């Protein structure tokens, strides 16, 4: 590591291959990565969005340096883990919707209403489909969209409900006519976890990024 730091000090560039799920990529990483890159002008980051399960498999196979994934995907994996952030899934509704006045709600109570969903195969959409099936029901999807912002925009037009991470909902609420209703289900809190195959085996510049992300986790 001392040799790598010496090379880094001489101006050689370091590259970090970082994999992250949608929530981390869109809501938590942009600002913290910007701060890191400003402080380390000789380090570049290749950020790639993947599902949490794909991330863990890639890290375990040594196909990337660092991953940020949902904790449900890393619980049984042979990787080293470090806490990063906690987010909660929330229901978003049009401002005039029948449920918009609720202070909290169970997911199954929403399944009689129309929904705006994410594209087929999206990890969060699969989670919601699974919980609807466990309740003996299914989501009445009017439209599928690729990202949280587009989902919020359509919900704001009055088409239906959606479930997205709270961080995305709060950001979109600043400019879109939506209501945020916390989900009371036990599975609604979602923890994001940093995973690496072996921290000590990472190049020095990748270790620096892990240290930065774990330090930032206290402010998430």
Common-topology check for domains 2-85+190-219 and 87-189:
yes
Place of tokens 């049984």: 76
pLDDT score recorded for residue 14: 93
Residue 72: pLDDT above 80?
A: no
With 0-12 / 13-18 / 19 or more C-beta atoms within 10 angstroms meaning exposed / middle / buried, residue 149 is middle
| 88 within 8 A of 181, measured Cβ to Cβ | no
Q: Does domain 87-189 have CATH number 3.40.190.290?
A: yes
Residue 10: pLDDT above 90?
A: no
pLDDT in tens, 107-120: 999 999 999 999 98
Q: What is the mean pLDDT of residues 18-25?
A: 93
pLDDT in tens, 115-146: 999 998 888 898 899 999 999 999 999 999 99
Residue 56: how many CB atoms within 10 A of its CB? 25
Q: For a pLDDT cut of 90, what percent of the chain falls above it?
A: 79
pLDDT score recorded for residue 51: 87
Please give the model's pTM, rounded to 2 decimal places: 0.82
CATH number for 2-85+190-219 (one of 2.170.120.20, 3.30.70.330, 3.40.190.10, 3.40.50.300): it is: 3.40.190.10
- Tell me the average pLDDT of the chain: 91
DSSP 136-174: T---EEEEEESSHHHHHHHHHTTS-BEEEEHHHHHHHHT
**Displacement of CA 108 from its chain's centroid (Å):** 23
Q: Say how far apart CA 91 and CA 104 lie, in whole Å.
A: 9
Domain boundaries, the chain: 2-85+190-219, 87-189
Say whether 130 sits in a helix, a strand or coil. helix
Residue 170: pLDDT above 80?
A: yes
């Amino acid at each position: 590591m001392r040799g790598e730091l010496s090379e880094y000090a001489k101006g050689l560039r370091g590259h970090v291959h970082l994999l992250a799920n949608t929530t981390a990529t869109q809501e938590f990483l942009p600002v913290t990565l910007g701060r890191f890159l400003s402080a380390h002008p000789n380090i570049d980051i290749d950020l790639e969005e993947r599902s949490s399960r794909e991330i863990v498999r890639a890290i375990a196979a040594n196909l990337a340096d660092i991953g940020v994934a949902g904790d449900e995907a890393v619980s049984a994996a042979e990787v080293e883990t470090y806490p990063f952030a906690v987010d909660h899934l929330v229901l978003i509704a049009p401002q005039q919707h029948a449920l918009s006045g609720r202070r909290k709600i169970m997911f199954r109570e929403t399944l009689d209403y129309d929904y705006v969903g994410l594209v087929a195969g999206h990890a969060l959409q699969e989670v919601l489909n699974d919980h609807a099936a466990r309740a003996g029901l299914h989501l009445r999807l009017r439209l599928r969209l690729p990202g949280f912002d587009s989902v919020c925009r359509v919900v704001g037009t009055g088409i239906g409900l959606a479930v997205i991470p709270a961080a995305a909902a709060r950001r979109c609420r600043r400019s879109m006519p939506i209501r945020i209703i916390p989900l009371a289900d036990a599975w609604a809190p979602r923890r994001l976890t940093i995973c690496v195959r072996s921290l000590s085996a990472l190049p020095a510049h990748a270790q620096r990024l892990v240290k930065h992300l774990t330090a930032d986790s206290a402010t998430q």
